Structure 1
Amino acid sequence: MIDHVYISVTDVDTASALYLTALGPLGWKEVGYYRASSGPDNVPDLFGIGDAAYLSTGVGSSIWLRQRNAGETGLYLGIRCDSNDAVDAAYAAAIRAGGIDEGRPAERTYFAPGYYAANVADTDGNRLEFAHKAQLQPRR
């Protein structure tokens, strides 16, 4: 399942107005801002929009708008994994297939408790994050 997407835009305010208006009829709403100052240097300021499931339980889909840097292209796609082992396996497979390490599997508690993830890039600059959110897993 797609967990989240980062979209790099030239103007976050203009883009957020468009996305909120376009996705509003589908139940998507503003999540709020993630400030870069609360995490590591490589995580930018983000403006979040989430679907109804994300807004109520955190187990849904979200879009995060970020300010585009000069010359930047590419996509950032977060893939939800069922376990930390699945994160490890997807990361290892991506690296074996020629992916470029952008963050080995580890806890990312600056996002949330129980957030475990790994990051890879392809040779075109597109990025994948494999993420397991232990605290948000549905009860069975």
Structure 2
Amino acid sequence: MIDHVYISVANLTRSAAFYKQFLASLGWREFGLHKSTAAGVPDLHGFLEAAYGNGQIGCSIWLRQRQAGETGLYIGLVADSPEEVNAAADAAVAAGATLESPTGNRDHFGPGYYAANVVDFDGNRIEIGDRNPPPPTRPHTINACNI
């Protein structure tokens, strides 16, 4: 399941207005600006699908100011345990990716969040994360982001 997507944009204000209008037509709502307090984590402007936060896992899209050299794609994938996060990160590295940051707890994103970040050979960033504990409906949730 896709958990979240970061889109790097040239103008955060202009892009936030665009995505707010566009995503509302699909039932998404604006979360607004998330000011980061963690080093190396950018401020984000978020949008949440209808299921998000209603006792279900849902998808989110986060806009961030594009940094030099970014490709613009950052996708977060759901894992079911820290062990699965580790195994996925190891498999990605074995297949040619680079570990972007140490695998471990990311409490600045929420208590119990355990993740790994890898970068493929084209510069695309992939986060594999386990939210512990997951919402009770997680195994049965069906939404547009399930793959």
- Considering the TM-score relative to the shorter chain, is it more than 0.5? yes
User: Is the contact made by 2:115 and 2:130 (CA closer than 8 Å) also made in structure 1?
Assistant: yes
1:31 positional shift: 1.4
User: Is the contact made by 2:56 and 2:136 (CA closer than 8 Å) also made in structure 1?
Assistant: no
1:77 positional shift: 0.6
Root-mean-square deviation (CA), in Å? 1.6
Structure 2 runs not aligned, ≥5 long: 140-147
Identical amino acids, percent of aligned pairs: 49
User: Is the contact made by 1:31 and 1:55 (CA closer than 8 Å) also made in structure 2?
Assistant: no
Residue 2 (structure 2) aligns with: 2
Taking the aligned partners of 1:64 and 1:49, their CA distance within structure 2 comes to: 6
Instruction: Within 5 Å, give how 1:46-85 maps onto structure 2.
Output: 46-57=44-55, 59-85=57-83
Taking the aligned partners of 1:136 and 1:32, their CA distance within structure 2 comes to: 23
**1:55-86 per-position Cα deviation (integer Å, ceiling 9, x unaligned):** 42361100000001234324101001111111
Secondary structure of 2:18's aligned partner: helix
Which of 132, 135, 140 matches 2:133?
135
Secondary structure of 1:26's aligned partner: coil
Number of equivalent positions: 138
Q: After the TM superposition, which of the residue ranges 71-80 and 99-108 deviates more from structure 2?
A: 71-80
Structure 1 runs not aligned, ≥5 long: none
Report the CA distance shift for 1:51/1:68 in structure 2 as closer, same or farther (over 3 A): same
Secondary structure of 1:44's aligned partner: coil
- Which structure carries more helix by proportion? 1
Residue 145 (structure 2) aligns with: none
User: Is the contact made by 2:55 and 2:135 (CA closer than 8 Å) also made in structure 1?
Assistant: no
What is the TM-score of this pair, normalised by structure 1? Answer: 0.90
Query: Is 1:107 aligned to residue 109 of structure 2?
Result: no
Secondary structure of 2:41's aligned partner: coil
What is the TM-score of this pair, normalised by structure 2? Answer: 0.86
